[in-house]
Structure 1
Amino acid sequence: MLDDFVERTLTPVTHDLGGFKVHRTLPAKERTMVGPFLFFDQMGPAHLPTGGGIDVRPHPHINLATVTYLFEGAIDHRDSLGTCARIEPGAVNLMTAGHGIVHSERSPGDERAHGPALSGIQTWLALPEADEEMDPAFEHVARAQLPTLDAHGARARIIMGELWGQRAPTTTYAGTIYADIALDPGANVPIDAAAEERALYLAFGEASLEGVPLEPMQLYILKPGVPATLRSDSGGRAMLCGGDAFATPRHVWWNFVSSRRDRINEAKRAWKAGDFPKVPGDDKEWIPIPEVPKTVSYP
């Protein structure tokens, strides 16, 4: 039975953003974090009209790190540090907000010319309390720099942390595991039980855990300390995430995350007052603070 291996299953809330959908499984009322992961979005898959694209205007973050990982398409990232970086499939963009950063995400011009594809995962990671107010930072790790393991009928790319004896060069602030597992037909992959908290997410295709079928776009939070085997008869794409459990909760309001509610209130005031830094090359527009955000904390 799945209950022998799975502690809880989270069903996504889907937002239609015009031309593409975002499926959000974290945060949820039933569970707000898995290790440092407190936000888990699948973008697309979608193919946008010729001349179109995504245009996420400049917006702020505090006290978290964002991780963008694409299956298909490309995104141009700009931020208030002066960074301009293009992310493509298999690479990682890690943006650490620390005491405050502003960024935008847009489809590149050459992608718009033929109708851009969009498919990927965006996650937010909580920072340990000692690092919440660190200086902002940005890190791009190319696809070729991420270790890939080919075994058990699967190719696993390690995005962050250590898995099966290999470690990604991507910076981590707390114990973290994050991997993209491409399952061939007949794959039979052991899921290590070493991390304190773990979750599996089937992005595409077909897979089962200990013989019980998994539903795509659901986040399966695994029981601590219990090993399991991920199988696929016809092929699929799964994400494994998790890491060290956090002793203190995080509050989430709009794009702001913190261990302290008063810090979020200060960030609200600062964004309304225009006190956050601007994004060089993309400073003519921004996302206004909402009255009622779609992302809120759960008590």
Structure 2
Amino acid sequence: MEAQPILVDGRQHDLGDGFVVRRLLPVLQARHVGPFVFYDHMGPASFAPGKGIDVRPHPHIGLATVTWLFDGAIRHRDSLGSLADIRPGEVNWMTSGRGIVHSERTPPDERRDGHALHGVQIWVALPQADAEIAPEFHHHDADQLPLIAFEGASLVLVAGTAYGKRSPVKIFAPMFLIQAHLRAGAVLEWPVEHTERGLHVVEGNVQWEGLDIGPARMAVQAGANASPLKAVSDARVILFGGAPLDGERHLWWNFVASSRERIEEAKRDWAGGRFPRVPGDEEEFIPLPER
């Protein structure tokens, strides 16, 4: 018998200008789901002309970040020299490995005109064997991602493997990340090859193993078997998960590592200016937090 899914509400933070972020992972009930160790639901928000987001250059180690937007645009720059504007249906996948620095800002046209922003930002822990690899950045257009159709359901395989398909996004451990649009009454089975799974309901209402899950909420479960999802209304959901992590991870600020010593080393390197700079965004940075 499969385990009962656990409902996750997360914690909401208002970042100003009407921009609200809900942190859904990690929480007490779920530190990680497969390799997914961090999950933020951004917005929906509407920025007036002249306003936008400005996430100044900051470092990462030991993880891959993925941005997936439902609305709006974000400009990514990093210390490899990458420059990419991401829009709905596209993927920005950044592998930090031993260390990378990046910034995220509203592109000039959207800042000038005003725009909406809605999406998710996720961290995937790298396997211990790959934690210190060279950093990489890859952008994938919407037409590169596999589309999957079931009765009443339209899916995009953002990363990993599911339902006999494989995304072109470079990953390092068994996992899946899917956007699904479900019509009311649709029933969707889970990918069978993965033993840890999570559901984020972006819009609409979904039932899973007796749980009623509404907008901006999450449910997670581990086990070899999983009951299908049923859409109570038309819904947009994110499905994610994979194989269990190869050991616990420490998360501190923007760093993920298997040891506290590696976190302390990264803190010293950022405070000492030993991370590379971001070409085109060299003037600002986020200082190391005191806590």
TM-score, normalised to structure 2's length? 0.96
| Structure 2, unaligned runs of 5 or more | none
C-alpha deviations, 1:43-98, integer Å up to 9, x for none?
Answer: 00111111111000000001111011101101100000000011110111100001
Q: State the SS of the aligned residue for 2:113.
A: coil
> Does structure 1 residue 14 correspond to structure 2 residue 12?
yes
C-alpha deviations, 1:165-221, integer Å up to 9, x for none?
Answer: 111111110001110011123322112343021111111112222564213222211
Residue of structure 1 in register with 2:123 after alignment = 124
Give distance in 1, aligned partners of 2:99 and 2:219. Answer: 32
Give distance in 1, aligned partners of 2:87 and 2:10. Answer: 25
C-alpha deviations, 1:138-172, integer Å up to 9, x for none?
Answer: 01111110011122211110011111111111111
Whether contact under 8 Å (2:204, 2:214) holds in the other structure is no
Q: Residues 3-82 of structure 1 correspond to what in structure 2 (within 5 A)? A: 6-19=4-17, 20-82=19-81
Whether contact under 8 Å (2:49, 2:115) holds in the other structure is yes
Q: State the SS of the aligned residue for 1:93.
A: strand
Residue of structure 2 in register with 1:250 after alignment = 249
Residue of structure 2 in register with 1:170 after alignment = 169
| Closer/same/farther in 2, CA of residues 234 and 8 from structure 1, 3 Å limit | closer
Q: State the SS of the aligned residue for 1:286.
A: coil
Whether contact under 8 Å (2:2, 2:223) holds in the other structure is no
- Give the alignment's Cα RMSD to 1 decimal: 1.5
Give distance in 1, aligned partners of 2:195 and 2:224. Answer: 7
Give distance in 2, aligned partners of 1:169 and 1:4. Answer: 31
Whether contact under 8 Å (2:90, 2:141) holds in the other structure is yes
Give distance in 1, aligned partners of 2:263 and 2:221. Answer: 31
Of 100-109 and 226-235, deviating more is 226-235
Q: State the SS of the aligned residue for 1:144.
A: helix
> Does structure 1 residue 198 correspond to structure 2 residue 197?
yes
Q: Residues 104-253 of structure 1 correspond to what in structure 2 (within 5 A)? A: 104-210=103-209, 212-253=211-252
Please identify runs of 4+ aligned residues in structure 1 that moved more than 4 A. Answer: none
Give distance in 1, aligned partners of 2:190 and 2:13. Answer: 31
Whether contact under 8 Å (1:69, 1:93) holds in the other structure is yes
Give distance in 2, aligned partners of 1:248 and 1:68. Answer: 25
Whether contact under 8 Å (2:2, 2:227) holds in the other structure is no
Give distance in 1, aligned partners of 2:235 and 2:3. Answer: 20
Whether contact under 8 Å (1:38, 1:126) holds in the other structure is yes
Whether contact under 8 Å (1:211, 1:231) holds in the other structure is no
Q: CA deviation at 1:254?
A: 0.2
Of 45-54 and 209-218, deviating more is 209-218
| Structure 1, unaligned runs of 5 or more | 293-299
Give distance in 2, aligned partners of 1:73 and 1:154. Answer: 24
Give distance in 2, aligned partners of 1:132 and 1:84. Answer: 24
Q: CA deviation at 1:249?
A: 0.3
C-alpha deviations, 1:275-299, integer Å up to 9, x for none?
Answer: 110000000000111112xxxxxxx
Give distance in 1, aligned partners of 2:45 and 2:134. Answer: 35
| Closer/same/farther in 2, CA of residues 237 and 5 from structure 1, 3 Å limit | farther
Name the amino acid aligned to 1:263: R
Give distance in 2, aligned partners of 1:204 and 1:15. Answer: 19
Q: CA deviation at 1:8?
A: 2.0
Q: CA deviation at 1:231?
A: 1.8
